[in-house]
């Protein structure tokens, strides 16, 4: 294996939607990912399962690995021939020490690329309605590190900053807020100059305090602030209330956990983000085709015997058609068989394969599917149900009670897994999650297996249907169920749950 390559990738300020397309593309092709605690959870949840992970820590006052060691790690992994992604919060070259990491690589002839990231001094004010430049107020922007070594004075020319009359953004300066404000005041800044501190911008914990240079510290002591946060000084801060938009979104301020099959892009998560939620997508389950394919292959060989083909999930559709192709069959082998779909998601997946569902129940669950199908049977039919290993047993009973002969064939199995990068249990027990969204009973089980908590009574669960709700109820969760088993109805439910929570607090 020859020499590898290193990519310094900016992960942005937190919101996964601000991670760049190139960053995602590079991440998906990585062999090794070197990351730290400043990378947002949304981005971490997108790291492929197959990569080698190296956590180098790094937070203010707590460095798991010294910078020199991080530089060596990048070099060593590249020398092994790997594609190495150094995932960094924000932008690699803005106080990210990216230049230092490249020096050693350059010295040893290691090829590298830099993928810029959306940076917090621009993104966080934007999410708080603060334009960092506005021609009515200023014509320059200055970004300054607020971090200083213990026992040392700031190496900042405060007088020069005041003379610019521009917007000032201080990063990593929360612990030294008073020193920064005093430095500006001593340098001649108007005590009534607007100033703001912006906490955890672009996430559900976003919060802002707007005051003046002379009283910002007092307001922070009164209202409280958590890190990471940035400090903005300038007349543009007065625009925050006028231009604020994030908090107007219906799910702003809510952190929602979505459990999903690992190989599926989550439309649910995308819709929740659209509505303002910070969404943590965790792969609670993954699906794999069963090893023994004897029964499904035999069914393919006699498809003309079946009058109905019944699908109970989009995954079931995907696996069925994949296995059919591998068996040397295609859509023509389905003949005149009629097709039943459990719900809208499965119907859409069938449509992708050129199949129109002949039957779909009004309520999207196994019992309703069985009842709807039973009403159109005369009792002589033969029915094929290719689905997960452990499916709704009542579905088969409803059909056999009508006299039908049913081949209930497992084509895939559900495997429960946990995230290596995110401590799900800690997120739950710390009260960081406002709501968990479940789209199937198996995702409930996957969530429980992955978190291993002793008590789930504090979990607010939004469930897509009856079986999913029953699974969550069994663990003592506070459950709500969507009116219809659709993603749109599920999103509406989460919005309603948040509104009810806010009404209780008033």
Contacts of 459 (CB under 8 A, 6+ apart): 428, 433, 436, 472, 475, 477, 478
Question: Active-site residue 36, yes or no?
Answer: yes
The tokens for 370 are 């069985």
pTM beyond cutoff 0.85: no
From first to last of the 506 residues of the chain, give the pLDDT tens digit.
678 999 999 999 999 999 999 999 999 999 999 998 889 998 998 898 889 999 998 554 455 688 889 999 999 999 999 999 999 999 999 988 889 899 999 999 999 999 999 999 999 999 999 999 998 998 899 999 987 766 667 778 999 999 999 999 999 889 889 999 999 999 999 999 999 999 999 999 999 999 999 999 999 999 999 999 999 999 999 999 999 999 999 999 999 999 876 555 578 899 999 999 999 988 666 778 888 899 999 999 999 999 999 999 888 999 999 999 999 998 888 989 999 999 888 999 999 999 999 999 988 888 899 999 999 999 899 999 999 887 778 899 999 999 999 999 999 887 777 777 788 888 888 888 999 999 888 889 888 988 888 899 999 999 998 889 999 999 999 999 999 888 899 999 999 999 998 888 76
**Would you say the CATH fold of 122-246 matches that of 5-118?**
no
User: If 0-12 CB within 10 Å is exposed, 13-18 middle and 19+ buried, where does residue 121 land?
Assistant: buried
- For 242-263, how does the pLDDT look when each residue is reduced to its tens digit (9 = 90+)? 999 999 999 999 999 998 765 5
Right CATH for 255-286+418-505 from 2.40.50.140, 3.30.1280.10, 1.10.1040.10, 3.40.50.10090: 3.40.50.10090
Catalytic residue among 31, 36, 91, 434: 36
Q: In the chain, what are the domain boundaries?
A: 5-118, 122-246, 255-286+418-505, 288-415
Within 394-473, strands assigned E span 405-416, 435-438, 460-463
Verify whether residue 367 is a known catalytic residue.
Answer: no
Q: Give residue-wise pLDDT tens across range 339-386.
A: 999 988 899 999 999 999 999 998 888 889 999 999 999 989 999 999
Q: Which of 58, 88, 207, 469 is catalytic?
A: 58
Q: To which H or E segment does residue 84 belong?
A: strand 83-88
Question: Is it true that domain 122-246 has CATH number 3.40.50.2300?
Answer: no
DSSP letters along 93-157, please?
Answer: TSSS-HHHHHHHHHHTT--EEEE----HHHHHHHHTT--S-BTTTBS-EEEEE----TT------
Assess contact for 361 and 372: CB atoms under 8 A.
Answer: yes
DSSP secondary structure letter of residue 74: H
5-118 is classed in which CATH architecture? Answer: 3-Layer(aba) Sandwich (3.40)
Q: What would be the CATH architecture of the domain defined by 288-415?
A: 3-Layer(aba) Sandwich (3.40)
Q: How far is CA 284 from the centre of its chain?
A: 13
């Amino acid at each position: 294996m020859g020499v590898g390559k290193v990519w310094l990738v900016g992960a942005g300020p937190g919101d996964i939607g601000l991670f760049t397309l190139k960053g995602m593309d590079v991440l998906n092709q990585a062999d090794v990912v070197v990351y730290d605690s400043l990378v947002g959870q949304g981005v971490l949840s997108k790291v492929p399962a197959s990569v080698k992970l190296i956590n180098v820590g790094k937070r203010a006052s707590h460095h798991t690995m010294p910078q020199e060691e991080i530089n060596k790690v990048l070099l060593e992994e590249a020398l092994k021939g790997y594609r190495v992604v150094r995932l960094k919060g924000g932008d690699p070259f803005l106080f990210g020490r990216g230049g230092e990491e490249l020096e050693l690589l350059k010295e040893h002839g290691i090829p590298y690329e830099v993928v810029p990231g959306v940076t917090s001094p621009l993104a966080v004010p934007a999410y708080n309605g603060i334009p960092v430049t506005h021609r009515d107020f200023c014509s320059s922007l200055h970004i300054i590190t607020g971090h200083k070594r213990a026992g040392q004075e700031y190496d900042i020319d405060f007088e020069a900053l005041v003379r610019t009359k521009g917007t000032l953004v201080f990063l990593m300066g929360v612990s030294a807020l008073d020193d920064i404000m005093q430095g500006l005041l001593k340098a001649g800044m108007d005590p009534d100059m607007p100033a703001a501190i912006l906490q955890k911008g672009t996430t559900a914990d976003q919060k802002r305090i707007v005051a003046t240079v002379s009283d910002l510290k007092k307001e922070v002591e009164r209202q409280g602030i958590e890190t990471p946060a940035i400090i903005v000084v300038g007349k543009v801060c007065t625009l925050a209330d006028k231009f604020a938009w994030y908090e107007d979104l219906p799910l702003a301020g809510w952190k929602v956990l979505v459990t999903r099959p690992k190989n599926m892009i989550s439309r649910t998560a995308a819709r929740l983000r659209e509505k303002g939620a910070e969404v943590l997508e965790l792969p609670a389950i993954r699906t794999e085709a069963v090893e023994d394919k004897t029964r499904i292959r035999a069914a393919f060989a006699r498809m003309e015997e079946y009058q109905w083909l019944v699908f109970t999930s989009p995954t079931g559709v995907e696996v069925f058609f994949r296995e059919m192709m591998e068996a040397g069959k295609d859509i023509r082998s389905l003949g005149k068989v009629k097709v039943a779909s459990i719900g809208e998601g499965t119907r859409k997946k069938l449509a992708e394969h050129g199949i129109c569902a002949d039957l779909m129940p009004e309520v999207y669950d196994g019992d309703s599917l069985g009842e709807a199908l039973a009403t159109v049977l005369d009792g002589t039919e033969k029915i094929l149900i290719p689905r997960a290993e452990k499916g709704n047993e009542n579905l088969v009973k409803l059909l056999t009670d009508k006299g039908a002969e049913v081949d209930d064939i497992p084509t895939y199995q559900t495997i429960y897994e946990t995230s290596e990068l995110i401590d799900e249990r800690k997120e739950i027990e710390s009260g960081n999650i406002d709501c968990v969204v479940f789209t199937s009973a198996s995702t409930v089980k996957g969530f429980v297996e992955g978190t291993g908590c002793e008590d789930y009574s504090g979990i607010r669960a939004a469930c897509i249907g009856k079986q999913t709700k029953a699974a969550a109820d069994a663990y003592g969760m506070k459950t709500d169920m969507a009116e219809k088993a659709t993603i749109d109805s599920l999103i509406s439910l989460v919005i309603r749950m948040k509104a009810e929570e806010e009404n209780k607090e008033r």
